[in-house]
Amino acid sequence: MSVFSHKHFANHENVHFHHDKKSGLKAIVAVHNTNLGPALGGCRMFPYATDEDALSDVLKLSRGMSYKSAMANLALGGGKSVIIGDPKTEKTPALLHAMGDFLESLGGQYIVAEDSGTSVPDLQEMATHSKYVAGIQSKMDINGNAISGDPSPATAYGVYTGIRAAVSFRYHSNLNGVRVAIQGLGNVGMYLAQHLYDAGAILTVCDLDEDKLNMARIRWNANVVRLNEIFSADVDVFAPCAMGGAINDDSLAVMKARIIAGAANNQLAEVRHDQTVTNKGILYAPDYVINAGGIIDVSYEGADYNARVSRQHVESISDTLTEIFERAKQTGLPTKLLANQIAEERMNAKKVTLTGEVERVAS
Ligand code: NAD
């Protein structure tokens, strides 16, 4: 298994491998870029078929976090971690403590948050062994209600504001009567559906889980379709909120939506699909720009957390997207390419010292 010559290596600053024999932990932490600050990114636990699969995943995700934080105007770099194992059967307190020890040994160059396969309680276990853990503090939302460290509501709100910006840019309208197809009613998809419904959007949804679909029918009068029918749904906006790779040759061949804007990471199956989307006249909100709400909110975590300030920052996603859409209109270039260029300019412009402490991340 190559590392330096790996196709996704992308000039990573550090890639750390760790094995703890006692707990069985096998983990990789990838730190892509710390020019703008310490690397913050989620920990994914997944039963990867091979070590190579785990390395590819962590390298791709880590690089993506550098771009996401740069585009979200955060003083953070990009990193990610993976634990190789089945979260349903192999996750133990001892394994999570060993992960905490691993994080602590890295001295703050990487700060962990949750990702698929890990949850806030898992991170709280890690935090008993490391201070480099984010997204675990209970806090008050903008209405004064207690909320957990779960980033999903903020992610969904950011996606919602992004969809609003895209619809305004393309159709010069608000969301009333706009038809949106949501692929995946998970942590993010559910909150997103509620925001869209409240704004008057008409929803088409799909998921693997029948209970969620029934809830969507009752709560939002949603039109439920089969998994493979979501791509060709007669809608204005397609919002991928399940797995990566939803934008591919097959889905684009049948897509009626003129806007793609959703929460999923790595939505383009291949880099070339950025151009294909542009050629088809579809307005694409680059994934890591529109889904940055969660990391923005997590970056504000601390004793002085202010829901209003965090929310305003999340809302700035719509301005960033509008700027990208304007540039795309002027240049004819694909939106993700433009986002990458802007993020790289920001990453390369500045070098800040590591604070090494979670509390100071947002400062
Ligand atoms: P989740 O696991 O809670 O939800 C995913 C949902 O998609 C589940 O309900 C699942 O049943 C459904 N699903 C799986 N395969 C599907 C398919 N082929 N068709 C339709 N539905 C399918 O995940 P989440 O936290 O809601 O995140 C959704 C996406 O957004 C992921 O790609 C994630 O990486 C990305 N994301 C999430 C956050 C966050 O704050 N949670 C932040 C940034 C990006």
Helices (H), the chain: 51-71, 93-105, 120-127, 152-171, 187-198, 210-220, 249-254, 273-279, 287-290, 293-299, 307-331, 335-349
Top mutation candidate among 44, 150, 155, 314 for ligand 1, by most atoms within 8 Å of CB: 155
Q: pLDDT value at position 143?
A: 67
Rounded distance, CA 290 to CA 312, Å? 14
Q: Could you tell me the two tokens for 272?
A: 């070339």
Ligand 1 atom 9, closest CA:
186
Q: How is residue 258 annotated by DSSP?
A: S
Compute the mean pLDDT over every residue in the chain, rounded to the nearest whole number: 93
Ligand 1 atom 43, closest CA:
291
Q: Could you tell me the two tokens for 49?
A: 């078929």
Please give the distance, rounded to the nearest whole angstrom, from the Cα atom of residue 330 to the centre of ligand 1.
33
Q: Could you tell me the two tokens for 34?
A: 């710390």
Ligand 1 atom 8, closest CA:
186
CB-CB contact of 98 with 25 (8 Å): yes
Question: Amino acid identity, residue 181?
Answer: A
Residue 349 CA from chain centroid, whole number: 24
CB atoms within 10 A of CB 212: 19
Ligand 1 atom 23, closest CA:
186
Residue 54 has, within 13 A of its CA and on its CB side, a CA count of 24
Residues identified as active-site? 80
Q: Please work out, in degrees rounded to the nearest 5, the angle formed at the alpha carbon of residue 343 by the alpha carbons of 155 and 8.
A: 90
Please give the distance, rounded to the nearest whole angstrom, from the Cα atom of residue 349 to the centre of ligand 1.
33
pLDDT digits (tens, 9 = 90+) for 307-320: 999 999 999 999 99
pLDDT digits (tens, 9 = 90+) for 242-272: 988 999 999 999 999 999 999 998 899 999 9
pLDDT digits (tens, 9 = 90+) for 169-211: 999 999 999 999 999 999 999 999 999 999 999 999 999 999 9
Q: pLDDT value at position 302?
A: 78
Confidence check: pLDDT of 358 > 50: no
Please give the distance, rounded to the nearest whole angstrom, from the Cα atom of residue 243 to the centre of ligand 1.
6
Please give the distance, rounded to the nearest whole angstrom, from the Cα atom of residue 189 to the centre of ligand 1.
7
Q: Nearest to residue 346, comparing CAs of 30, 13, 9, 33?
A: 33
In this structure, the residues whose C-beta lies within 6 A of any atom of ligand 1 are 116, 151-152, 155, 183-189, 206-209, 212, 227, 241-243, 263-265, 291, 294
Confidence check: pLDDT of 34 > 70: yes
